[in-house]
Amino acid sequence: MNYKFKGLGVAMVTPFTHEKEIDYNATEKLIEHLIGGGVDYLVVLGTTGETATLSDKEKKSLVKFVIKQNKKRVPIVVGVGGNDTKHVIESIDNYDYDDIDAILSVTPYYNKPSQKGLELHFKEIAANCPVPVILYNVPGRTGVNMTAETTLKLAQNSKIIAVKEASGNLNQISYILRDKPANFLVLSGDDGLILPQLALGMDGLISVLGNALPKPLSEMIKLGMNGNFAEARKINLNLVEVIDTIFVEGSPSGVKAALSIKGLMENSLRLPLAPVSESTYNKLSQLLMNFR
């Protein structure tokens, strides 16, 4: 069951109209672009989806829309996280899980819990969630790092099936890979590090860049997972400057610019995020000409 989350997952952006409302027509186009591009599963309401700026009503509506448009073609993961354990558990009840395959839950941000606090937080979430849980460790955004030791403790829980590791710490990741249960997946959250991480034995990537360039990224990941690093490396070297450029002014500002260049949606974000500068936009336009 866990293996449906191997390969390429995409942390979907939330398209907005010029008036900053959810653009459902663009969302439909994005879903077709992603599934047609070979992604293995969709992640809705992640950081890349500007979820912090969506109301509860918008979140429910967006999840229902993605499920309907997906038509059971690929698995769906929904982001349900926060820094108040009780509120996260209440939020889990907002969704119908008939067509949701797992939730992705980020380490609590701002209040900087101890490792014991992280362990208890995720155990409570797993106990109250009707579907499996994917842990999400992204210390650059949350201010707290979940150690390999804590991740491995949580991996013993049958409801916790994977971790999305975006620490960028290859030593930490190596300890998790060495000591994890056989069916526990270790997924990357770092587009720019995925090739060396696949060489270490990671199981795939939950990507930002995949919104804009699902085909080459999917191909690279399949090659890497099959051990064909010579061919995967060629694709990685073609992508490296695009990856750097989409993150240079923050995410998802960069990837939304790329999607607007590709004609898939408006270059519209909700504050406090702002569109990238004209120079970054123009550079992305030039780089994306190599992937038409």
Q: How confident is the model at residue 118 (pLDDT cuts 50, 70, 90)?
A: very high
List, in sequence order, every beta strand (DSSP E) within 198-280. Answer: 204-207
Instruction: Give the pLDDT confidence score for residue 292 in this predicted structure.
Output: 72
Other C-beta atoms within 10 Å of 55: how many?
Answer: 8
What dihedral do alpha carbons 50, 250, 229, 147 form, nearest 10°? -70
Q: Quick check: pTM over 0.85?
A: yes
On the question of pLDDT at 74 being above 60, the answer is yes
**Identity of residue 282:** N
pLDDT, tens digit, for every residue of 200-245?
Answer: 999 999 999 999 999 999 999 999 999 999 999 999 999 999 999 9
Sketch out the chain's domains with CATH numbers. 2-226 (3.20.20.70)
Contact 7, 204 (CB under 8 A): yes
Write down the mean pLDDT value for the chain. Answer: 97
Contact 211, 12 (CB under 8 A): yes
Cα–Cα dist 195/223, whole Å: 10
164 is catalytic: yes
Which residues are bridge partners to 160 per DSSP? 133
Cα–Cα dist 125/159, whole Å: 10
Which residues are bridge partners to 41 per DSSP? 9
Contact 66, 75 (CB under 8 A): no
Report which secondary-structure segment, H or E, holds 44.
Answer: strand 41-44
Active-site position among 59, 164, 180, 283: 164
End-to-end Cα, the chain, rounded Å: 35
Contact 7, 221 (CB under 8 A): yes
Contact 32, 1 (CB under 8 A): no
What dihedral do alpha carbons 288, 251, 41, 31 form, nearest 10°? -60
Active-site position among 41, 59, 95, 136: 136
Instruction: Give the pLDDT confidence score for residue 34 in this predicted structure.
Output: 98
pLDDT, tens digit, for every residue of 245-280?
Answer: 999 999 999 999 999 999 999 999 999 999 999 999
**C-alpha atoms less than 13 angstroms from C-alpha of 198 in its C-beta half-sphere:** 26
DSSP of 80-123: ---S-HHHHHHHHTTS-GGG--EEEEEPPPSS---HHHHHHHHH
DSSP letter, residue 59: H
110 is catalytic: no
